[in-house]
Amino acid sequence: MVVFDSSIVVDVMKKNKAARALIESHTENGRIAITIVTKYEILRGTDKEDLNLVSKWLNQFIVYDFDDHAIAEVVKAYKKLKEHGNLINEFDMIIAGIATANGETLITKDRDFLKFNDPKIKVI
């Protein structure tokens, strides 16, 4: 299974064909996931009249939570990135930590994730 970052999900909502095809290709191979942070980011940015529709669409994804194991991974990543002067957006660190804690590959368009230097984070 893979975890999609907010950048991919937003592109699907903007009717980006490549992003939709990417998600569909992974849907054929099994279940797909997002993090609770991605769900929050998407719903926060959704117009009130579209909220129910978008919520139903997001329900097709497994949603990984920000639990104690994920917190430990985020803290570890934070300390490593800070040590090298490569801190990134806090939400992005949490998304990466949640994916790592669950042993999943994260797919994103956000080049800041390259700072993790992690083969399980795919920046497209």
- Alpha-carbon distance of 113 to 107, in angstroms, equals 10
Coarse DSSP helix, strand, coil percentages of the chain, rounded to the nearest 5 percent: 60, 15, 25
pLDDT of the residue at 30: 74
| pLDDT for res 16 | 94
Mean pLDDT of successive 10-residue stretches along the chain, which has 124 residues: 94 93 84 95 95 94 96 96 94 96 96 93 95
Could you give the angle at which helices 90-101 and 36-44 cross, rounded to 10 degrees? 140
How high is the pLDDT of residue 101?
96
Please, are residues 104 and 120 in contact by the beta-carbon 8 Å criterion? yes
pTM: 0.91
CATH number at residue 75: 3.40.50.1010
For the chain, how many structural domains are there in total?
Answer: 1
Domain that holds residue 46: 2-123
Question: What are the structure tokens assigned to 83, written together?
Answer: 């040590």
pLDDT value at residue 1: 86
Predicted confidence at residue 6, as pLDDT, reads 94
The H-or-E segment that residue 104 falls in is: none
